[in-house]
Structure 1
Amino acid sequence: MKKLSYIILGIIIGALATYYYCPRQIDDGATEIVKPKGVITPDQAMALNNNWTKYRKAAVDSAAARQGREIDDRSTWWSIKNIENYIAYSKKQTDSLGYTITGLRVYLGVYGENAGRTKRNLTTMFVVPTVKKAKDKASMNPFAFQDEDEEDCEECEPLNEGGNGGGGSGYPN
């Protein structure tokens, strides 16, 4: 009986030591939100939009007019859910290719002659993941001081087919 009490006492001391000395994650529901780098004010966004209208709209719309359209698209819209799904999809895809995803790059593109009547030769935007080649952290190479610059993932599938961005925006003129 005396040995059993020592075993029970040992279990209690072990449980208390584990409780106090092992790290634990506390989720109180208050995740810290950090303002991303590059966030601008609505007034700055309006100025950028007005500058685009002043310096680019006539040229872009005249190119659209040559294709039989009154105006060309000037924005693209994706839902938050679609963006979140694309980020998760891109992370999985880049991991399987041996890359580490570093960001997303947005490109302007133009649909070609064979895109169909509603898209032919009009502007689009698409998103491509940027990556760095995944490297082992325990490298024996003494000269590996810097990571290579990020680059577009040419093997990854870009995101396109957003909405035309119309309706509800206060920016276009």
Structure 2
Amino acid sequence: MKNPPSKPSQLISKEFAKQLNVNYNNKRASLTANKKQKEDANAIWYSIEELEKYIHYVKTQGAEEGYSVDGIRFYFGVYPDDEKHGEKAGLTTLFLVPTGKKVEKNETAKIQNFVEVEESSADIQSLEPMNYGNIGRPPSLLY
């Protein structure tokens, strides 16, 4: 391979991933033990194509709105318990929110310089979050 990708610094072992998943399943089960609730999702799937499309969208839209998009924050949520959400009502979801910093554009001597205004990355509230990954059938999967 000519230019192999660099290994991400946030990788974890398969064993630790399994432990995290078991911990989540046990914690979620203990929270719903006394309720008559359908089996909840413990994994959400997004296609590479949809993730790439979303990344391209938020980077482009963010730049148009004066942001340097630098990441995506993943939030856990629970769908409202009403029939409008069908089978997903009351179940766990995961949604994505772009993060970044506001930049100011300064034009001097025909060179465009971008100056960061905020010191830390924050959720970009003007860009739409992404949701509706696939929870699979049945919802619970074991890692």
TM-score range, shorter chain: 0.7 to 0.9
Shift of 1:104: 0.4
1:135 and 2:104 aligned: yes
Query: Could you say which residue in structure 1 is the equivalent of 2:14?
Result: 42
Given candidates 40, 51, 58, the residue that maps to 2:30 is 58
- The structure showing larger relative contact order (alpha-carbon pairs under 8 Å, at least 6 residues apart) is 2
Query: Could you say which residue in structure 2 is the equivalent of 1:125?
Result: 94
Q: Distance in 2 between matches of 1:170 and 1:113?
A: 25
Q: How many corresponding residue pairs?
A: 135
TM-score, normalization by structure 1 = 0.67
Task: Point out where structure 2 has 5 or more consecutive residues left out of the alignment.
Answer: 109-114
Amino acid at match of 2:80: G
Given candidates 23, 32, 42, the residue that maps to 1:74 is 42
Name the CA shift for 1:61/1:129 in 2 (closer, same or farther; >3 Å): farther
TM-score, normalization by structure 2 = 0.79
1:164 and 2:135 aligned: yes
Name the CA shift for 1:146/1:135 in 2 (closer, same or farther; >3 Å): closer
Query: Could you say which residue in structure 1 is the equivalent of 2:85?
Result: 116
Q: Distance in 2 between matches of 1:148 and 1:138?
A: 22
The structure whose residues are more often strand, as a share, is 2
RMSD: 2.8
Q: Is residue 101–residue 116 contact of structure 2 (8 Å, CA) maintained in 1? A: no
**3-state DSSP class of the match of 1:55?**
helix
The structure that has the greater radius of gyration is 1
Q: Distance in 2 between matches of 1:147 and 1:116?
A: 37
Identity of aligned residues (%): 33
The structure whose residues are more often helix, as a share, is 1
**3-state DSSP class of the match of 2:20?**
helix
**3-state DSSP class of the match of 1:134?**
strand
Name the CA shift for 1:170/1:134 in 2 (closer, same or farther; >3 Å): same
Name the CA shift for 1:149/1:165 in 2 (closer, same or farther; >3 Å): farther
Shift of 1:96: 0.9
Task: Point out where structure 1 has 5 or more consecutive residues left out of the alignment.
Answer: 1-28
CA displacement 1:2-61 (0-9 Å, x = unmatched): xxxxxxxxxxxxxxxxxxxxxxxxxxx722311112100111101111222333322146
